[in-house]
Structure 1
Amino acid sequence: MRRVLTLAALLAAPVPALAHTGADHLHGFAAGFLHPVGGLDHVLAMVAVGLWAGLLGGRAIWALPAGFLGAMAVGFGVATTGLGLPMVEAGILASVIVLAALVASSARLSLAVAVPLVALFGLLHGHAHGTELAGHGAVGYAAGFLAASAALHGLGMLAAWQVTNRLVLRVAGGAIAALMLVVAGLG
């Protein structure tokens, strides 16, 4: 029961929706590390990737986070060259909803489908981080947000492994999806 309450507390922690840290005075790694943890959309997407990977088990434990992080780095690079991608913010919102729904349904997709899906979402998240670089050292900033994202993936996997009642995880996935639908004004 304590694990369930801990997971519920983490999911209910007050984090401003679709906002980022006000740590504009930080640069490089520190700014990059704090950037994704300051936005509810980014936090929930990263945790959902970890939850889904933990639920799938096997090779998915490494493949899903690696696919997300690799594509995130590519998206960051694309953004820093000035190339835009269409519907990045809408795609980020959709990423949280879709990933949470996959957790809620305990979807057992093959890695041939799951990895490209999370990679697409990683590309969008990385692009958003790249467009928000604004005066930070690119390499340190990228290393920081990749490290924070990996840690959030790990948090999701840890939750998937520690919470033995899969129904709790599925309900958490449903709650995340519902929360983001409300944030998007679709709920």
Structure 2
Amino acid sequence: MKRIIIVLLSSLIFLPNIGYSHEIGFGGGFGSGLTHPVLGFDHLLAMLSVGILSAQIGGTAIWVIPLAFVSFMLTGGVLGIKEVPLISVELGIAFSVLILGIVLAADKKIPFIITMLFVGFFAIFHGHAHGTEMPFLAEPQLYALGFIIGTAGIHIIGVLIGLSATKIKHGLQLLRYIGASIAGIGFHLVIS
């Protein structure tokens, strides 16, 4: 586990624009859609948190919660593409990072339906950002496919992190620290 963390942190040296997903693109289409959730630090943290949270809940939540996030995100993406205004999209994304981090840090069992509702609510903001920031494309379907696959991949990594934590000494405590760090970043995003 330590080796994985070291490799991931070391790779940041080679990705200096990690926080600027809104400016990185591969000419539009699939690549641009794929990089938006992966390279957008706020999106990345929220989606990792969703995966970890679903692993903490366990059972069918491992796939149902990420699937709900992707479904609602796609709905938000369509709203963004259609230029349907949403109030405070960036603030909604920032609050998603903050609240998901708090939930991970608290390590309390939240009822499944409540988790689904708040994950779905925040997913609409993430999707809206993807949709409104979509470059003018000849193939918007490829962009949407890219951001769906990118999001699903991040969720899978989060699930794997959550499941792996149960197998290592002090892993659950480590997840709480990760959650507290994510909440701290979310707080910074909310106030800035």
For residues 154-184 of structure 1, give each alpha carbon's deviation from its aligned partner in whole angstroms, at most 9, with x where no partner exists.
0011011112320111111111111232344
Question: Which position in structure 2 is the counterpart of 1:138?
Answer: 140
Distance 1:42 1:11, change over 3 A: farther
1:11 and 1:124, CA in 2 relative to 1: closer, same or farther beyond 3 A?
A: farther
Structure 1 gap segments, 5+ residues each? none
**Aligned with 1:168 (options 152, 164, 174):** 174
Counterpart CA distance in 2 for 1:122 and 1:12 is 29
TM-score, normalization: structure 2? Answer: 0.87
The aligned amino acid for 2:63 is: W
What TM-score do you get using the length of structure 1 for normalisation?
A: 0.89
Which amino acid counterpart does residue 124 of structure 1 have in structure 2? F
8 A Cα contact 1:36 1:149, kept in partner: yes
Q: Specify every segment of 5 or more residues in structure 2 that has no aligned partner in the other structure, as ranges.
A: none
> CA 1:116–1:135 in structure 2 vs 1: closer, same or farther (change >3 Å)?
same
Residue 25 to residue 57, structure 1, CA distance change in 2 (3 Å): closer
Aligned to 2:159: 157
1:6 aligns with 2:12: no
Partner of 1:72: 73
Deviation at 1:125, TM superposition (A): 0.2
Residue 178 of structure 1, aligned match among 155, 160, 184:
184
Q: SS of the residue aligned with 2:48?
A: helix
The answer to whether the 8 A contact 2:25-2:35 is kept is: no
The answer (yes or no) to whether the contact 1:21–1:34 under 8 Å persists in 2 is: no
Describe the shift of the 1:157–1:24 C-alpha distance in structure 2 as closer, same or farther (beyond 3 A).
closer
Q: For the residues of structure 2 that align with 1:12 and 1:86, how far apart are their CA atoms?
A: 37
Residue 9 of structure 1 deviates from its aligned partner by 6.2
Q: CA deviation at 1:108?
A: 1.1
- Conserved? CA contact 2:50–2:66, under 8 Å: yes
**2:36 matched residue in structure 1:** 35
Contact 1:33–1:148, Cα closer than 8 Å, also in 2: yes
Report the aligned-residue RMSD.
2.1
Return closer, same or farther for 1:10/1:145 CA change in 2, 3 Å cut-off: same
Partner of 2:21, secondary structure, is: coil
Q: CA deviation at 1:28?
A: 1.2
The answer on whether the counterparts of 2:76 and 2:127 sit within 8 Å (CA) in structure 1 is: yes
Paired residues of 1:17 and 1:41 also in contact (CA < 8 A): no
Q: Is the alpha carbon distance of 1:178 and 1:39 closer, same or farther for their aligned partners in structure 2, counting shifts above 3 Å?
A: same
The amino acid of 1:133's aligned partner reads: M
Q: Tell me: CA distance 1:70–1:166, structure 2 relative to 1, closer, same or farther (3 Å).
A: same
1:102 aligns with 103
Amino acid corresponding to residue 161 of structure 1 in structure 2 = L
